[in-house]
């Protein structure tokens, strides 16, 4: 194939389809309401400025545009998937994704290698350090995000108290090239804000960073391959990445069975529908009454006594230290 090769376009692909796909790619995600506004604006423009009311765009129409966009990008190994937002009331979100993606391919065009390496450490903190059988937080606060600003080897040598000399030597050496020097705290903070602005990270009112629906869709396969044991018994063994009993999607914010060793998890947004079809509010696996007061996500920390009592940062630090100790226990 020469330079002229272009992906085949779906039948009936119009300028409106093209403009819709371009806008979707630029944004990364769309809700139905955003899709209505976008399509109304594109169609109004293509019809010479006649006003089209966003509310007149139906879900069917929106989904037709999504389907055509998906047909257009599939030959290029992209996909459009949708999921519901676990945290914000379950609104459905469509995302333009690279299905074979890992954090490096996602971020390497817009971020430096040091930043990409930091994001991997941040994900390890979310899904390993702060995600243990006792505390499935899967989110980090700012202090925890700053604690992984440098690679582990560097942090250890800092702890040994010989950091400055050591740093200069390492910068020259191959070890530095392999592990990287890490980021300054100010660089971490500005990277975190840009990852929030780019739609990769969510920042909660309590200051916890977690993955957005878009990141979860994009990194689904990578997260499972990276953090779960492939030879574990899917039903019985605790795994780092867990799925909702109702919708089968990843749970990073939701509820867990009151029996500490049980692996059943449920999104808040899925529970109404789930219990409606059952005679009793009991865990479908171990039959423990489901009280909905054991959490996955930041509430594993914030629901603990002390966090909400206005002790602010100090309380949060205590909880963080506790979560860290729990993490160390599990290793």
Report the interface residues with Zn ion, using CB under 5 A: 244, 246-247, 257, 259, 262, 264, 267, 270, 283, 285-286, 288
Residue closer to Zn ion by CB (options 116, 262) is 262
Residue 94 beta carbon to Zn ion: minimum distance, rounded to whole angstroms: 17
Residue 257 beta carbon to Zn ion: minimum distance, rounded to whole angstroms: 3
Residue 30: CB atoms within 10 Å: 26
Residue closer to Zn ion by CB (options 195, 244) is 244
Spatial separation of the C-alpha atoms in residues 56 and 40, rounded to whole Å: 8
Spatial separation of the C-alpha atoms in residues 291 and 289, rounded to whole Å: 6
Backbone dihedral angles phi then psi of residue 202, each to the nearest 5 degrees? -105, 140
Residue 135 beta carbon to Zn ion: minimum distance, rounded to whole angstroms: 18
Would strands 201-203 and 254-256 be described as parallel, antiparallel, or unpaired? unpaired
Residue 83 beta carbon to Zn ion: minimum distance, rounded to whole angstroms: 9
**SS3 of 96, please?**
strand
Residue closer to Zn ion by CB (options 82, 112) is 82
Give the list of residues 6+ apart from residue 310 with CB closer than 8 angstroms, or none: none
Element (H, E) at 72: helix 59-73
Residue closer to Zn ion by CB (options 138, 244) is 244
Residue closer to Zn ion by CB (options 42, 135) is 135
Would strands 254-256 and 78-84 be described as parallel, antiparallel, or unpaired? unpaired
Residue 264 beta carbon to Zn ion: minimum distance, rounded to whole angstroms: 4
Q: Are 188 and 145 in contact (CB under 8 A)?
A: yes
């Amino acid at each position: 194939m020469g330079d002229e090769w272009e992906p085949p376009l779906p039948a009936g692909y119009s300028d409106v389809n093209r403009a819709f796909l371009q806008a979707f790619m630029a944004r990364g995600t769309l809700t139905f309401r955003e899709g209505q506004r976008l399509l109304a604006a594109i169609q109004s423009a293509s019809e010479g400025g006649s006003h089209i009311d966003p509310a007149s765009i139906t879900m069917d129409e929106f989904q037709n545009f999504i389907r055509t966009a998906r047909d257009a990008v599939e030959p290029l190994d992209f996909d459009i998937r949708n999921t519901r937002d676990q945290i914000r009331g379950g609104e459905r979100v469509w995302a333009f994704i690279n299905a074979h993606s890992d954090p490096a391919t996602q971020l390497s065009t817009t971020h430096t290698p040091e930043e990409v390496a930091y994001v991997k450490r941040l994900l390890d903190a979310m899904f390993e350090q702060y995600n243990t059988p006792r505390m499935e937080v899967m989110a980090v606060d700012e202090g925890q995000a700053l604690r992984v600003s440098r690679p582990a080897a560097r942090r250890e040598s800092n702890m040994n108290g010989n950091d400055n000399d050591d740093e200069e030597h390492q910068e020259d050496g191959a070890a530095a090239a392999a592990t990287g020097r890490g980021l300054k705290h100010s660089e971490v903070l500005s990277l975190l804000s840009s990852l929030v602005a780019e739609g990769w990270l969510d920042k909660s009112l309590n200051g916890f960073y977690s993955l957005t629906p878009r990141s979860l869709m994009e990194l689904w396969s990578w997260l499972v391959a990276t953090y779960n044991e492939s030879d574990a018994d899917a039903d019985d063994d605790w795994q780092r990445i867990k799925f909702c009993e109702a919708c089968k999607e990843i749970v990073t914010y939701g509820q867990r069975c009151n029996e500490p060793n049980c692996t059943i998890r449920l999104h808040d947004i899925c529970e109404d529908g789930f219990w409606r079809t059952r005679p009793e509010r009991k865990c479908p696996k171990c039959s423990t009454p489901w009280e909905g007061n054991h959490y996955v996500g930041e509430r594993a920390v914030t629901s603990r006594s002390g966090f909400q009592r206005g002790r602010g940062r100090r309380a949060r630090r205590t909880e963080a230290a506790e979560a860290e100790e729990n993490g160390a226990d599990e290793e």
